[in-house]
Structure 1
Amino acid sequence: MIVFRYLSREVLLTLSAVSAVLLVIIMSGRFIKYLAQAASGALDPSVLFLIMGFRMPGFLELILPLGLFLGILLAYGRLYLDSEMTVLAATGMSQQRLLAYSLAPATLVAVLVAWLSLGLAPQGVAQVAKILNEQDALTEFDTLVPGRFQAMRSGTRVTYTQEMSDDRSQLGGIFISEKRLSKAGDKERGITVLVADKGRQEIQPDGSRYLILENGYRYDGNPGAADYRAIKYDTYGVLLVKPEVSSDISEREALPTRELIGSDEPRKQAELQWRISIPLLVFVVTLLAVPLSRVNPRQGRFLKLLPAILLYMAYLSLLIAARGALDKGKIPMSVGLWWVHGLFLLIGLMLQFWEPLRLKLAGRRMARELAHG
């Protein structure tokens, strides 16, 4: 029991450290993406941390299996390097018992991943989709930030306001620059610049919204050319466009698991098998990691780390590819993703029993040579 607690603690501590680092890296990259959308006015900055919080379960469901895999490799690799595994083997610790001990923390991680994959992650994705839909309903006026130039319409319009009232109903010091394109939209015909002392939003009966500018000028022309036109106006209406919010969330990812069970749609069945596959992945990578963690103290603990990571990437990539083929109906639903787990389960069993068998055969061969010598 003491050995079991010691091995489990080493694995879980390394798992926590590796997973924390991976989570920071992944969330930082995703946060930068959302931050860029907020800077362009497509997202309200106040919802950034809310979105990241709802996306965290989806990140963790993929990070934890990799963290466990690396945790076993690094923790057991250190024990082999310090000859602690040699001492344990001398006291009767076999590879099968080591695997059995390793399955205890793996079961804990698998239960956590199953909770994330089947329950919490879809709920988080649904909340993120709801937030993004609300953001998509906003207009350029709703996302304006005083003192900041904001690009809209794929960069064809740039809007700036010097000040804004607390209730966002009145603007002051307005500047709008918009490229005038041909009807085909492939040729630039010049630039229109609007400046105004103040402005307000006005909603038409059909639901369209306009920014009503007051006491300003409109300039039409081409940059670098002297033929431009200046018009002074008392009021001028500018149609407000909706921000373009890009999203990598599919509708099926937000569906509760109970709605996927029993569905005949291939995409929903593929999603259900994917959610079940993530917890299964935990047990298979544990079977792979235990034999791969065996290292010779003279070779160093990182010798097998790169091949092991490549094997894990091949496993996950094959799962993703099989999921795509399942979506398109290229793989029967009865076969699904299970053949990928079966393949790597077989590889894990071969790795688990090959090394002891090789050592046993080598010992017999050496004994025969000594007997004949």
Structure 2
Amino acid sequence: MKLIERYIAREIMLPFTVVILILIGLFASFSSARLLAGAVTETLGIAGLIKLVFLKTLIALEVLIPIALYISVIMGLGRLNKDQELNVIRSVGISGHRIVIAVLTVAIPVGIISGMLSSYVRPWAYGESYILDAQAEAELNTNRFQAGRFYGSEKSGRVIYVRNKDEADKQMQNIFHYIKKPDSSEIVIAKQAQQFKPTAEDDRPHIQLSEGIIYQLTNIASTDDVIQFKKMIYFIDNDFVTNYRRKAAATRTLWESDLPRDIAELQWRISRPLATILLALIALTFIHTSPRQDKTEKTYLIAALVFAAYYNLSGLAKTWVEQETIGSVPGVWWLELLMLLVLITYALIVRQKHLSRSR
């Protein structure tokens, strides 16, 4: 890479590093605040909260990286343009093609990283976050229970109370469990309870209750049932682990599927590198519209509107493929083709103006 290209690439990479760190910090802070408001720490603890924030940030990188690069190209080349350095560069015989190449030397590696994150890291992060989210919301997950507190769910009509709990071995004493059903209610009172992890014999986590009584209260029968037990097992639903989730599915699995939703997810992942590069080139077009400082704010506003329009259209393109509004061809690629057409049209207009000035 020649000196000029290295200089332009450096002017883009410096703000890119700063912007991506700021965006990651803001997103992580926002995610932490939402999880804390949902009392996730009571269920997963601080370590689980940090891991969940980390996973959600990894998922968001496929959006944060293109945004950071888009902003960085406008900031870096905008600074060169404002200080008349681009005019000096052009005056010594450096063509616009070399400036584009300098931008591509940054955009292509960043696009490849974005594609790797989207195709491999993002599905893994989604899978791990699904498990943590489900553990945080699991009604019978004893990790969330603290002694002396009631836990209720309006969705299921379940109320649980634990008087004592041993955090070391997860044993609980004096448990009250109430659940409201459509035509009956059930109250379980037990002296002890302990949660067990999945084993080779049974892959479902479960809670074992000891020495208790079950009161079954019905609205239809004239008498209620009372059942005494020494041991009873509650199985915890772990369908969140086994159920198929396309966002967490391996890219190879999506390749082999012909379902519209899987095709849309696969095309979305593959399109991320191209979208990142095209956004960087679109950002380059704004530099020619703001050679003076008094147009900088207007340029940033237009650039923000263009990115917002692209982001909304990309989500719409994916939805159309999922709903079979459009087929797998052109799929989500029509948006990238539209962006490429806009860039080619812009390049032809600039070239025509340049030829007119030369004449």
Partners of 2:120 and 2:94 in 1: CA distance: 38
Which of residues 193, 202, 226 in structure 2 aligns to 1:201?
Answer: 193
Equivalent residue letter for 1:252: R
CA contact (8 A) 2:135 2:141 kept: no
- 1:13-24 alignment, distance < 5 Å: 13-24=14-25
Are 1:169 and 2:171 an aligned pair?
Answer: yes
Q: Map 1:233-248 to 2 at 5 A.
A: none
Q: Match for residue 12 of structure 1? A: 13
Equivalent residue, structure 2, for 1:108? 109
User: Quick one: which of 280, 283, 305 aligns to 1:286?
Assistant: 280
Question: How far apart in 1 are the matches of 2:324 and 2:306?
Answer: 27
Q: What TM-score do the two structures reach when normalised by structure 2?
A: 0.76
Letter in 2 for 1:200: Q
Of residues 317, 326, 340, the one that matches 1:345 is 340
Q: CA deviation at 1:157?
A: 6.6
Greater Rg over alpha carbons, structure:
1
1:37 maps to what in 2?
38
Report 1:30-179 matches (<5 A). 30-39=31-40, 41=42, 43-135=44-136, 139=140, 141-146=142-147, 150-154=151-155, 164-165=165-166, 166-170=168-172
Deviating above 4 A after TM superposition, structure 1's stretches of 4 or more consecutive aligned residues are 39-45, 133-138, 146-151, 154-163, 180-185, 207-214, 239-247
Post-superposition shift, 1:253? 0.8
| Long gaps (5+) in structure 1 | 186-195, 215-238, 368-373
Aligned to 2:221: none
In 2, Cα distance between equivalents of 1:134 and 1:41: 11
C-alpha displacement of 1:108: 1.0
Contact conserved, 1:290 with 1:352, CA < 8 A, in 2?
no
Of residues 131-140 and 9-18 in structure 1, the stretch that sits farther from structure 2 once superposed is 131-140
Say whether the 8 Å CA contact 2:165–2:173 is kept in structure 1. yes
Aligned to 1:303: 298
Q: 1:181-330, aligned counterparts within 5 Å?
A: 200-201=192-193, 251-294=245-288, 295-330=290-325
TM-score normalised to the size of structure 1? 0.74
CA contact (8 A) 1:140 1:240 kept: no
Unaligned runs of 5+ in 2: 196-204, 213-232
Query: Hey, what's the Cα distance between the residues in 1 that align with 2:102 and 2:322?
Result: 37
1:134 Cα shift?
4.7
Tell me: CA distance 1:268–1:304, structure 2 relative to 1, closer, same or farther (3 Å): same
Residue identity opposite 1:264 in structure 2: D
Structure 2 distance, partners of 1:351, 1:341, is 15
> What one-letter code is carried by the residue in structure 2 that aligns with 1:64?
I
- The alpha carbon displacement at 1:21 in A equals 1.3
Q: Which amino acid aligns with 1:275?
A: R
Instruction: Provide the C-alpha distance between the structure 2 equivalents of 1:48 and 1:13, rounded to a whole number of angstroms.
Output: 31
1:110-156 Cα distance to aligned partner (Å, 9 max, x none): 11111111111112222222334455556154311357665544596
CA RMSD, 1 decimal = 4.1
On the 8 A contact 2:171/2:194 being kept in 1, the answer is no
How far apart, CA to CA, are the structure 2 residues paired with 1:4 and 1:250?
Answer: 47
Q: CA deviation at 1:245?
A: 12
Q: 1:320 to 1:11 in 2, by over 3 A?
A: same
Q: Deviations over 1:64-109 (max 9, x none)?
A: 1111111000111111111111111111222222111110101110
Contact 1:287 1:352 in 2 (8 A): no
Does residue 358 (structure 1) correspond to residue 353 (structure 2)? The answer is yes
Whole-Å separation in 1 of the counterparts to 2:165 and 2:172 = 6
Provide the C-alpha distance between the structure 2 equivalents of 1:151 and 1:111, rounded to a whole number of angstroms.
47
Residue identity matched to 2:144: T
Q: For the residues of structure 1 that align with 2:238 and 2:297, how far apart are their CA atoms?
A: 46
How many correspondences in the alignment? 333
